Amino acid sequence: MVNLIKKNPVPLIFKKILKDNMNGELVITHDNFTKKLFFLDGDLIFATTSLDHERLGEMLMSTGKITGDQLEELTKIMESSTRKTGEVLADITHLNLQDIYSALLHQVKTIAAATFLLREGTWEFTVKIPGIQDSQKLRVKLPQVIVEGVKKIVDISYFMKRFLFLAPETTTIPVSISKYLTAEQIELHKTLANFPNTPVEQIIPKLNVPENIFWKNIICLNLLNIADFVEFTVDEELNKNIEEINELYEKINSNQLNYYRLLGVEKSASFEEIKERYFNLSKKYHPDRVPVAQDSVIKEKANTVFAEINMAYETLSDREKRGEYDSQRYKQNPRRDLTGSNQVKKAKDLYLKANSYYKQKSYFEAVSLLEEALECDNSKASYFLLLGLCMSKSSSEIEKIEAEKNLRKAAEMEPWNVVPLFALAESYRSRNLLKEAKAYFDRVLEIDVDHTSAAKAIKEIKELSQKNPISSFFKKKK
């Protein structure tokens, strides 16, 4: 079927060929020229063109590889010869076979990438095994052609119309593609993952990127099949949760809720009931459930509500603390002012600085800040988690044990969160406590059955135990 380029730009067939590893012949026809591109298993293996400036000899002369006289001699020989252009060039110039092969690769990539410029003409793709001799096959990787081709696109209106009101949906970048991307493109790919179910028109203002560069990179990611754009849907559950967060936030600030009412349990509730209710509320109102694209005010309110839920659970799940709380007849929450408190704000600032140190691998500095943060506010699992992660980097056995205490605390506060559980398992494994490590890796898989790192670790522990049957993992208790 013949396709009008105006309606279906050439890059679309490149996307399809790459995605399905197709074999075939692509014929592109314009008023002034014809190009033929040949594909095998998704690779570009050969290309021909009727444009003089894209012929091998002209390209070599334009780059100073051969002289005008040598080009003229090549043209005369080829008019009356059936020999390959590369063979003749090897005879009449100083170029060796490697030089000529590199030039052929460059020619084929140039012919293909230039098709991304086209606004008029037609293209037709025929699925078949190309009739190209083995000696002529070049094997140019299509991601490289696509990346170069996108740079040449001038009219991006087709893609803007298609993507502007759709939401991004990303997939993992294969190594075979990542090596052709810029750091900027890889960073954008990561950023898009933070905007699920958010139309592109709402994403652009939130990014500090020139719009033309944004669109070029978006087009590139899409053509490489690592970013798609789909109809976004209204998340009724999320909207309902945000409404409830707003309502809870107002009630917390006006002291309308005691800890029992906040958790939604009776005063006679058992510890198991309180734990189950806390677990459900934490999953529902955790700040991470609020997408990055949402208003930052909502995010702050979610942090406040979640901190209060943590405080309620910490109080009511401890017999002594619960008794003290009940003795006050829970007329009002004897809580700290989480919204206006300087202590809470100070704790958050310390945590953010510590997180920055953690990313820089300055673990000692991070530990000091986190310990101070927890003195100001010990209601956030993220503080205990980061402290545990930092301490686990120490070579000291004592520090590792202390790290495990903090990781366990984070796991208790957020029992659905696999991060502290996995970190605990890794810490135990580093201390050769394989039985304990396996138990925590198992807990990770109970929560997230697709956690490949935990599954791999369990497999490695089992293999190790088979090689060393007297390991601590298999020691029988006396």
Side-chain half-sphere CA neighbours of 356 within 13 A: 7
User: How distant, in Å, are the alpha carbons of 43, 112, 123, 178, 265 from that of 174?
Assistant: 16, 23, 29, 6, 48
From the centroid of its chain, how far is CA 190? 4
pLDDT of residue 334: 44
Residue 423 sits at φ, ψ, to 5 deg, of -65, -40
Mean pLDDT of all residues belonging to the chain: 85
Condensed to tens digits (0 to 9), the pLDDT of residues 80-98 reads: 888 888 888 888 888 888 8
Residue 186 C-alpha from the chain's centroid: 8
Q: Is the pLDDT of residue 112 over 90?
A: yes
Question: What are the Cα distances from residue 357, in Å, to 349, 373, 386?
Answer: 13, 14, 11
Q: How far apart are CA 390 and CA 383, in angstroms?
A: 11
pLDDT tens-digit map of 357-389: 888 888 888 888 898 888 888 888 899 999 999
Q: Give residue 447's pLDDT.
A: 86
Domain boundaries defined on the chain: 3-140, 156-230, 236-327, 418-478
Amino acid 247: pLDDT: 84
Q: Which CATH superfamily is domain 236-327 in?
A: DnaJ domain (1.10.287.110)
pLDDT (tens digit per residue) in 297-339:
777 788 888 888 888 898 898 888 888 888 764 344 444 444 4
Residue 36 has pLDDT above 50, yes or no: yes
Q: What is the pTM of this model?
A: 0.51
What's the pLDDT score for residue 246?
Answer: 82
pLDDT in tens, 183-210: 999 999 999 988 877 889 889 988 888 9
To which residue do tokens 């083995």 refer?
Answer: 134
Mean pLDDT, residues 129-158 taken together:
91
Task: Please state, in angstroms and as integers, the Cα–Cα distance from residue 478 to each residue in 436, 441, 475, following that order.
Answer: 18, 25, 9
Quote the pLDDT of residue 475: 40
| pLDDT higher at 107 or 395 | 107
The C-alpha atoms of residue 7 and residue 291 are separated, in whole angstroms, by 36
Q: Which helix (H) or strand (E) holds 24?
A: strand 24-29
Question: Directed axis angle between helix 296-316 and helix 397-413, to 10°?
Answer: 100
Per-residue model confidence (pLDDT) at position 283: 77
Q: Is residue 261 a contact partner of residue 333, using CB atoms and an 8 Å limit? A: no
Per-residue pLDDT for 1 more than 90?
no
Q: What is the pLDDT of residues 255-300, one digit of tens each?
A: 777 888 888 888 888 989 999 998 888 877 777 666 544 455 777 7
Question: For residue 239, what pLDDT band results from cuts at 50, 70 and 90?
Answer: low
Residue 236, pLDDT above cutoff 70:
no
- Residue 469: the pLDDT is 45
